[in-house]
Structure 1
Amino acid sequence: MKIDKVQVFGWEAAIRGMRNPMNSWDRSDSQYYNGNIEIGTNDLRLMQRLILAGTEHSKYMRYITVYMDINAPLYWWKEFDTYKFCEKNSTSTMHKITSRPLTYDDFEFDFESENRTNIINDLNDMIDKYKNTENSSDKETIFRAIVQDLPSAFKQTRTIVTNYAELRNMYFQRKNHKLTEWREVFINSLKSLPYSEELLMNK
């Protein structure tokens, strides 16, 4: 599993909007340099106080937008899809699964085995048969067999857009998850985000 191409936007609007209810813009002390943010003491104190007051008070967290590419197995994506505040654009299994032979690199297997090698070989035999079959009905039958036999360890890349509010929710729900993809990859990637300790992980 791999996470890269991470981008974070929206700090200035988030902080400005956070101060709208009390018209306290003059107390804002954050600095912005070429798209980077240095959150001031006053702003950070208010941000943390609003987080602890509850989601109805920390709406500004949804203004801090995060983009990233995630290459992960289907069994992980099945759990990720329970979160609704994310938009996802994925590589297409429907369009590309028959474009080339599959290898171990296409799967999130912890180790190689004879059984797994046989699974990959069987899939590749069907892919080859699909490419060399002209009858549309036969092609559909073969294609459905490929998709149905594809292991949940098959990796798919998605570009996602989410926000700090949802990522904070994920952190506390998944930091002790039994899947290492959550604990050791996704949660660790959150730690590299700007002000993650102060905004995503503080209680």
Structure 2
Amino acid sequence: MIEIKNCTVSNIENALRGMRNPLDSWEKSDSITTDGKFILGPNDLKLARKLCAAGSDHRKFLRQIFVSLDITAPLYWWKEFDTYKVGTVANSTSTMHTIHKKEINESLFSCEKLDAERLALFKNYLDQIEQLRQQYLIDKDPELWIQMIQLLPSSFNQLRTCTMNFETLLNIYHSRKNHKLSEWRQFCDMILKIEYFDMIAEISSQSL
């Protein structure tokens, strides 16, 4: 399970102005901002696509287009996402501070691929953690809290607010679009829907 909300794109106007610095071609820029809405012009789009196709050394402007998004995903996915430490910043909900505040049940986990037999086993396992949680609320024994943390499955869903740039997203897309984890494939599909991304990078789920 993976979910993306509150996606915003920023600094694209400044990035595209800087894109024209190397050849002093600012007079050819045809993007405009109307009623607070940025509209990408055909001249700027053509140059952006040309630079994207020329490689990372030429598409530096992508590093100046920023994206912020709320991602909810299981810990086993976040473990792989943390590969992308360069160019990303994230603020997460705190497992350490909040694990005892909610009832421990399957709604907090990515367990949609489990069959009925294994889901029943998983629910029994979670019941054991829930018993520890309830006891911890009474006793406040830190040993009970540590046991909850150590027993917590990697399918536990965590929310993080992440900021990154278009270049990082492009690298993620190329590397992960055919990954065996369905969460990565879903994330890559979501990347293509981010405003301006598919248009500038000139990629699609069919052609890459």
TM-score by length of 2: 0.90
1:119/1:97 CA distance change after superposition, 3 Å:
same
Q: Which moved more, 1:111-120 or 1:152-161?
A: 111-120
Give the Å deviation of 1:177. Answer: 0.6
Letter in 2 for 1:74: L
Q: 2:137 aligns with which of 125, 131, 138?
A: 131
Whether the 8 Å CA contact 1:3–1:70 is kept in 2: the answer is yes
Instruction: State the distance in 2 between where 1:144 and 1:190 align.
Output: 37
1:201/1:43 CA distance change after superposition, 3 Å:
closer
The answer for the alignment partner of 2:127 in structure 1 is 121
Whether the 8 Å CA contact 2:49–2:202 is kept in 1: the answer is no
Alignment: residue pair count = 198
Give the Å deviation of 1:49. Answer: 1.5
The answer for the alignment partner of 1:62 in structure 2 is 63
Instruction: State the distance in 2 between where 1:41 and 1:193 align.
Output: 19
Q: Which moved more, 1:1-10 or 1:49-58?
A: 49-58
Give the Å deviation of 1:168. Answer: 0.6
Give the Å deviation of 1:38. Answer: 2.2
Q: Which runs of 5+ in 2 are unaligned?
A: none
Q: Secondary structure in 2 aligned to 1:21?
A: helix
Give the Å deviation of 1:44. Answer: 1.2
The answer for the alignment partner of 1:74 in structure 2 is 75
Q: Which runs of 5+ in 1 are unaligned?
A: none
**Percent identity for Structure 1 against Structure 2:** 39
Q: Which runs of 4+ in 1 moved over 3 A?
A: none
TM-score by length of 1: 0.92
1:201/1:45 CA distance change after superposition, 3 Å:
closer
Give the Å deviation of 1:199. Answer: 2.7
Instruction: State the distance in 2 between where 1:200 and 1:109 align.
Output: 34
Q: Which moved more, 1:51-60 or 1:190-199?
A: 190-199
